[in-house]
Amino acid sequence: MRVLIIEDEADLLASLAKALREEGYAVDTAADGEEGLYKAQSWDYDVILLDVMLPRLDGWTILHRLRESKKTPVLMLTARDAARDRVRGLDTGADDYMVKPFDLEELLARLRALIRRAAGQTRNVIDIGEVVMDIAARRVTRAGQPVALTAREYALVEFLALRRGEVVTRTALYEHLFDEDDNTLSNLLDVHVSNLRKKLGAEFITTHRGHGYSIT
């Protein structure tokens, strides 16, 4: 899953990006409102973390302009805890709201919930034959036995599982699994798919020649 963090506090931006990457997310960052709006409008992110008080353009303006063209889930971050600010954010189109300072584990849980809801998935657990994926715990089992996946392998399975039955193009997978700083080889996706088939079953991921991949 690919996340955009728009935050002008350098230390917080760096720590959030590091924590999310350790969780397996592809992360892009922006330190001011203009750069943040440009990236938010230019790429299809799975979720955006948006600070309210930003230089050049504030979070309210970014959110208003973004909602003119995109439905990307937005979690607003702010040091302002007045009820009117929370109401304004939600009424402007934010999907969730957290007041600084916040607990990282709660933030991660809210991100997972936003991503799940955006995909129309109401439960944390997805059953795919003998493979069971627990999104909340970020754990995958096969026939009841835990399967060790790399962060990128897990991200690939999660993205396809949340779109079960759909053919997901290679372009979409690259755009959602790799961030702007990734220098990827053209066959890297094939390597991950091959490794996942070894771990989860040869038929777990279906290849649609010239189109992409799917989990059914």
Which residues, in sequence order, are CB contacts of 111 under 8 Å at separation 6+?
3, 20, 47, 49, 75
Give the per-residue pLDDT at 90.
Answer: 79
Task: Give the ranges where the chain is alpha helix by DSSP (H).
Answer: 10-22, 33-42, 59-66, 83-92, 104-118, 151-161, 170-177, 188-200
Tell me if 2-118 shares its fold with 125-214.
no
Give the per-residue pLDDT at 185.
Answer: 54
What residues in the chain have per-residue pLDDT under 70?
82, 183-186
| Buried/exposed code over 169-185 (b: 16+ C-beta within 10 A; e: otherwise) | ebebbbebbbbeeeeee
Q: CATH second-level architecture of 2-118?
A: 3-Layer(aba) Sandwich (3.40)
Tell me how far apart the alpha carbons of residues 36 and 28 are, in angstroms, rounded to a whole number: 10
**Residue 156 three-state SS:** helix
Give the per-residue pLDDT at 183.
Answer: 64
User: Nearest-CA neighbor of 51 among 43, 63, 38?
Assistant: 63
Give the per-residue pLDDT at 89.
Answer: 76
Tens of pLDDT, residue by residue over 169-193, are 998 998 888 888 776 555 788 899 9
Tell me how far apart the alpha carbons of residues 44 and 73 are, in angstroms, rounded to a whole number: 10
Domain coordinates in residue numbering, the chain: 2-118, 125-214
Fold of 125-214: Arc Repressor Mutant, subunit A (1.10.10)
Tell me how far apart the alpha carbons of residues 140 and 130 are, in angstroms, rounded to a whole number: 10
